[in-house]
Structure 1
Amino acid sequence: MKHLTQFILICIFFASSLGAQTTAEKRIDSLFSKYNSKTAGVAVGIVKDGVLIFKKGYGMANLEYDIPITSKTIFNVGSVSKQFTTFSLYLLEKQGKISLDDDVRKYIPELPIYGKTITIRHLCSHTSGLKDQWSLLTLAGWRMDDVITSEQVMKIICNQKELNFEPGSQFKYSNSGFTLLAEIVKRVSGKSFSAFAKENIFDPLGMENTLIYDDNEKIVKNRAYSYGNENGLNSKRNLNSSSPGPTNVYTTVEDLSKWTINFENPIVGNADFINRFNEQSLLDDGKPTILAVRDGETIYHAKGQFIRNYKGLTVYNHTGSDAGFKAYLGRFQDNKLSIILLSNDENFVAYKAGMDIAEFYLADQFKKREKVTEAEQKAEEKPKSTSDTNLKDFEGKFQNDDLSSLFNVKVINGKLTMTHNRLSDVVLTEVEKDKFSGVITFSAEVSFERNQKNQITALSITNFGATNVKFMKLK
């Protein structure tokens, strides 16, 4: 009788578990119900207690050949790549080949001397002060769908004579640091970054369909292509970058599940290694690096991941975006739950979808969040363009030698406009005296400088990743 009772209890337990899982799966299906044979889509993987319990594709990997997305479809995961880059540096340190506190110039001597040393640790934690490579490339006239190689990116980084800030003093997201990290792996190991990661991470974990894409002409079987959709029409979002480090890990949800499981049951590294890797990054003064405060919760950085206490539970996560690819990898490590979302839909909001799915599995463990009421701030209205502003005063040619880039500023149809040989025209809107806003691929602030005679002598451009990039006016 005792054994019968135990058997019944076990059956009830598995039945309830199966029911809960089925409910979660149905909710995931509903979440992605808009994807079909006419759309791009998303691949989903859910890892629980070290097992990939759910894997499914929605929508199409290739709209030209009607190839559906599956759990084996390969996607570019964008900035989710960064945790593989930093992990590689931690492996090199474990092998005794580097110290995280080494001067970066020990390995990359062509990098300028900036006054204060930039260390490998600074690169890993977005505290180097280096101007972001994509920010710089766009100001140099590059399009994001150009062929972009590591050699070209290295040149533009090493040409910069100024930093955004003193190394170790601030946190500011910079892709440039991760290109340098990939280059350090190459120079220290004597192998390509791609080969090092394959030998030290991908192969030991059995990630057979994962690679670092460092050749834009390389053929990758089963990969998805990325798309945008405007007014109901699909269009390709071409990606020709072969510059790894900040991006360009190509993988599947099945392979990423093996990566997340390694954080719970390490094959590469050990428990102490993983714990150190998961620690918050710090500024030089010992304060933690902070991305933002949202919904009353602080988001910290840790080696290519962000950490936050989400409704009482700790989550390590990061999103990725490149061309039309979107990605989300979230690890509720204490709860042994990981959520993997890989998409080729430019409009996919990866982070929200990831947290929506977390609710499907962890709702009973989440704490209710108190409503955060932000004080109403009545921002002072900045002066708008005034009738006495003579836009002709700002006309001229402005050049930055470090970027080999020239903008021509002139009045076109009554509007101050910046033109560049390789970019679309940029219409500038006055924000305040001598300061304008516009879009140079990314939103930008353009400030003009005057001499003692009140003549315009230069302009400086600030965008998300580069501060005060100066262009001198040509005489």
Structure 2
Amino acid sequence: MKHLIKFILIYIFIANNLSAQTNSNAEKKIDSLFSNYNSKTAGVAVGIVKDGKLIYKKGYGTANLEYDIPITPKTIFNVGSVSKQFTTFSIYLLERQGKISLNDDVRKYIPELPVYEKTITIKHLCSHTSGLKDQWALLTLAGWRMDDVITPEQVMKIATKQKELNFLPGSQFKYSNTGFSLLAEIVKRVSGKSFGEFAKENIFNPLGMENTLIYDDNEKIVKNRAYSYGNENGLYSKRNLNSSSVGPTNVYTTVEDLSKWTANFENPTVGDVDFINHFNERTSLDNGEPAILAVSDGETIYHAKGQFMRNYKGLNVYNHTGSDAGFKSYLGRFQDNKLSIILLSNDESFASYKSGMAIAEFYLSDKFKKRAPKTEPEKKVEEKPKYISTTNLKDFVGQFENTELSSVFNVKVIDGKLAMTHNRLSDVVLTEVEKDKFTGLITFSVEVSFQRNKKNEITGLSITNFGATNVKFIKLK
């Protein structure tokens, strides 16, 4: 018996020693990964959660370059689209409380939305399958800059004026921030509290997330917050963020608080095991097929309630990145391995997903499966003949209006090139890629297609970007 006890104690000692050695090696690799960050750069806060405990937390670089304030694990960042999982979690809490159904018509709560050909449900909003045009995509076409003051009220006004969808609800997956703004509005109207108050009472406070808030007032002072930066040719500049739009973004938090959020998925305090399992289920289209973001390295990336899920090198992972102004974030949960990785950055060029998966290799390399080398047959790429325009650019000149956006573009020929001008935007130079079709940049890349009548006269144009398809502008003159 004594020998058995001695053996067990030796085994525990060796196991603990090996674990400590593994963690130490991983921490050195993390230091090396972020060695370029210092007191003169923006940076990143890192949190590693194992078995529900924050085993590593550290800040690299500077939270405020004007006052030389370093990043620490207590620094507060905007996490961008990582916010979406808190929005959907709030909706699922309301469902659990019996106050809503995921199959409810969204117009039951937001009656000012147009009546569409097919009903948009709350489930559609949660799963990026509503067909609603993206709010940022629309705002830019309405003449807004991304550093303008943008409030939930303004987002609601522009969203509820759109009479056309990108596609029939439930028929496709297409990322839409608008859906999450509407979800936040539903939480507000159903609970009788602001979305921030609801999240604080039902999620943040119960989990002890004392330094987390929904930033719904762009003038609110937040102590210990980071400011975000871009870097061009080694020179940093501010990336101002004045938006108070909530739902798709604007959760402000720390790596310490996010560790408590990830721990709740393993040992629930808010919700229970069944609730968490329900929340983690992948979402689907109306025909039952899964909602798929993409296929990468032969692995399918599914959507699941404000998160994406995939089997990465043999291990299941739930993750999402965030990007707002110069803020970048990554939150990844290898739930079966009880490992979570949290990265919060104020550096616009920070490669959040790549860094997150690099850190995963530091801790899980012995568990990852090697991918088989790709053996795809070589494809012959047929070069398309270069398009040679025979169009008279003056044919396109005119004034074009979209009343739903209260937006007017003037199309002109400037210095021999076709350009679109707007009272609130820089001039947009258009490049013709085929007959009556041009490309350009209105904050985001756009495709501009002109329409003609039977007399071959230009009568209008439509603009398509990453989140809005065929936004129509009618020619006025």
Query: Would you call these one fold, judging by a TM-score over 0.5?
Result: yes
Q: Could you report, residue by residue, the CA deviation over 1:219-239 in whole angstroms, capped at 9, with x for unpaired residues?
A: 000000000000110000000
Q: Could you list the per-position Cα deviations for residues 156-192 of structure 1 after superposition, in whole angstroms to 9, with x for gaps in the alignment?
A: 0001000000000000000000000000000000000
Instruction: Kindly report which structure 2 residues correspond to 1:122-137, keeping only aligned pairs within 5 A, or say none.
Output: 122-137=124-139
The answer to whether 1:179 aligns with 2:181 is: yes
Deviation at 1:11, TM superposition (A): 2.2
Aligned-partner Cα distance in 1 for 2:241–2:375: 41
Deviation at 1:334, TM superposition (A): 0.4
| Residue 331 (structure 1) aligned with residue 333 (structure 2) | yes
Q: Distance in 2 between matches of 1:337 and 1:174?
A: 29
Q: 1:116 aligns with which of 108, 118, 122?
A: 118
Tell me if 1:351 matches 2:353.
yes
Distance in 2 (CA, whole Å) between partners of 1:354 and 1:245 is 24
For 1:71 and 1:387, the matched residues in 2 are separated by 57
Could you say which residue in structure 2 is the equivalent of 1:31? 33
Deviation of residue 373 (structure 1)?
A: 4.2
Q: Is the 8 A contact 2:176 2:467 kept in 1?
A: yes
Query: Which residue, out of 55, 62, 65, partners 1:63?
Result: 65
Classify the secondary structure of the residue corresponding to 1:57: strand
Q: Are the aligned partners of 1:383 and 1:431 in contact in 2 as well (CA < 8 Å)?
A: no
Residues 396-416 of structure 1: CA distance to partner in whole angstroms, max 9, x if unpaired? Answer: 111101001111111111111
Give the counterpart letter for 1:457 in structure 2: T
Q: CA deviation at 1:389?
A: 2.1
In 1: Cα distance, 2:367 partner to 2:298 partner: 19
2:300 corresponds to 1:298:
yes
Match of 1:90 in 2: 92
**Greater mean alpha carbon deviation, residues 91-100 or residues 413-422:** 413-422
1:353-392 alignment, distance < 5 Å: 353-382=355-384, 384-392=386-394
- CA deviation after TM superposition for structure 1 residue 376, in Å: 4.4
Query: 1 CA distance for matches of 2:377 and 2:192?
Result: 55
1:72 pairs with one of 71, 74, 80: 74
Matched residue, 1:403: 405
* Aligned with 1:146 (options 145, 148, 167): 148
CA distance in 2, matches of 1:380, 1:401: 42
Q: Tell me how far apart the structure 2 counterparts of residues 408 and 96 of structure 1 sit (CA, whole Å).
A: 51
Distance change >3 Å, CA 374–CA 413, structure 1 → 2: farther
Listed one character per residue, the Cα deviations across residues 52-83 of structure 1 (whole Å, up to 9, x for unaligned) are 10000000000000000000000000000000
SS in 1 for 2:322: strand
Q: Distance in 1 between matches of 2:383 and 2:141?
A: 29
Partner of 1:167: 169
1:296–1:372 CA contact under 8 A, matched in 2: no
Instruction: Percent identity, please.
Output: 81
Instruction: Give aligned pairs, total.
Output: 475
Alignment correspondent of 1:102: 104
Contact 2:389 2:434 in 1 (8 A): no
1:395 CA displacement: 1.0
Deviation at 1:380, TM superposition (A): 4.8
Counterpart residue type for residue 467 of structure 1? T
Segments of 5+ residues of structure 2 without an aligned counterpart are none
Separation in structure 1 between the aligned mates of residue 184 and residue 356 of structure 2, nearest angstrom: 28
Q: How far 1:377 moved relative to its partner?
A: 4.4
Give the deviation of 1:425 after TM superposition. 1.1
Amino acid at match of 1:73: T
Q: Any idea what the Cα deviations from partners look like across 1:299-341, whole Å, max 9, x if unmatched?
A: 0001100000000000000000000000000000000000000
Paired residue for 2:254? 252
CA distance in 1, matches of 2:169, 2:53: 41
Whole-angstrom CA distance in 2 between matches of 1:143 and 1:27:
39
Which residue matches 1:342? 344
Partner of 1:228: 230
After superposition, the C-alpha distances for 1:254-286 in whole angstroms (9 at most, x for unaligned) are 000000000000000000000010001010000
Q: CA deviation at 1:6?
A: 3.6
Which of 451, 463, 467 pairs up with 2:453?
Answer: 451
Q: Is the 8 A contact 1:383 1:432 kept in 2?
A: no
Q: 1:456 to 1:380 in 2, by over 3 A?
A: farther
**What letter matches 2:443 in structure 1?**
T
Counterpart of 2:171, as a letter, is S
- The answer (yes or no) to whether the contact 1:382–1:432 under 8 Å persists in 2 is no
- SS of structure 2 residue aligned to 1:242: coil
For 1:91-144, what per-residue CA distance to the aligned partner results, in whole angstroms no more than 9, with x for missing partners?
000000000000000000000001210000000000000000000000000000
Distance 2:377 2:339 in 1: 36
Q: How far off its partner does 1:383 sit?
A: 5.3
- C-alpha distance in 2 between matches for 1:173 and 1:322: 15
CA displacement at 1:379 relative to structure 2: 4.9
Letter in 1 for 2:76: I
- TM-score (normalised: structure 2): 0.98
Deviation at 1:370, TM superposition (A): 1.1
Counterpart check, 1:209 vs 2:207: no
Match of 1:54 in 2: 56
Show CA shifts across 1:405-445 (max 9, x none).
11111111111111111111111111111111111100111
The answer to whether the aligner puts 1:282 opposite 2:310 as a matched pair is no
